[in-house]
Amino acid sequence: MERLLKSLVSPVADAAAETRIRAIRGVYDIISDVYPISSRLFHRLAHATAIEMSKMEDGMRILEVATGSGELYRQLTLNNPQGLTFGVDLSPRMAQKTQKGIRSIAKQARSYCHAADVRNLPFRSSSFDRVFLCALLELLPDGAMADALCEVRRVLKPDGRMVLVCISQRDPRFNTLYAAGAALVPSFLGRLVERSVYELVPKLGFEILAQRNVRQLWYPSTVIVLRKV
């Protein structure tokens, strides 16, 4: 099913996309030690909102894709002591940092973070009740966004929820500034994708259940909860 949906919307992956993904891995590996500052400054409120809107319950199987240095991941694990929490990040150094962080605060937690690409998640189909993604889709090359969403859909249980945090496009001044920054450091910032997400998700087998705008230090995010249909 996912392959069929993907073939309808996604162009064939090309060499430029793979080069971009390798560059992203390199950049996030390099900045893994300082990245927590950025996550706390810009994503903390969105993380809390995502957890609240997800209606996650202790005992669930939870996955976070693109954990970065683990700020949201730690909260997911601490909210799920009876369940199983998994994380992946493209950058091996980010994944390692996240795993170390969780062991330092919850030694016995059933919580495991590894390096993996969202386009090829190392999990069985229909394994998770909730999958969280924060500030990931912005980084992916065009065709890879549909691949990523199809892969998330594959690992979600029937009726499972994807909780997506996008950088919002609702503020034109922010959009202009972001585009200027992204032109300088494309592998770090990517591009804004919120509007494309709304177009894409119904075609890929998701229903939007809820959406909320948040803002932290002028940085606008949107939290979207989607159901696998």
* Vertex 82 angle, CA 81 and 87, to 5°: 60
- The CB-of-75 to ligand SAM minimum distance in angstroms stands at 11
Q: How far apart are CA 118 and CA 121, in angstroms?
A: 6
Residue 205 in contact with ligand SAM, rule: CB under 6 A: no
- Of 91 and 169, which CB lies nearer to ligand SAM in the complex structure? 91
Residue 225 in contact with ligand SAM, rule: CB under 6 A: no
Binding map of ligand SAM across residues 20-39, x = CB under 6 A, - = no contact = -x--x---x----------x
Residue 117 in contact with ligand SAM, rule: CB under 6 A: yes
- Of 34 and 107, which CB lies nearer to ligand SAM in the complex structure? 34
Q: How far apart are CA 66 and CA 136, in angstroms?
A: 6
Residue 94 in contact with ligand SAM, rule: CB under 6 A: yes
Residue 194 in contact with ligand SAM, rule: CB under 6 A: no
Comparing CA positions, the residue from 138, 228, 125, 122 lying closest to residue 186 is 138
* Residues touching ligand SAM, count (CB under 6 A): 21
Comparing CA positions, the residue from 227, 223, 201 lying closest to residue 214 is 223
Q: Could you tell me which residues are beta bridge partners of residue 165?
A: 134, 223
Q: How far apart are CA 193 and CA 172, in angstroms?
A: 14
Residues that bind ligand SAM (CB under 6 A): 21, 24, 28, 39, 43, 65-66, 68, 71-72, 88-91, 94, 117-118, 134-136, 139
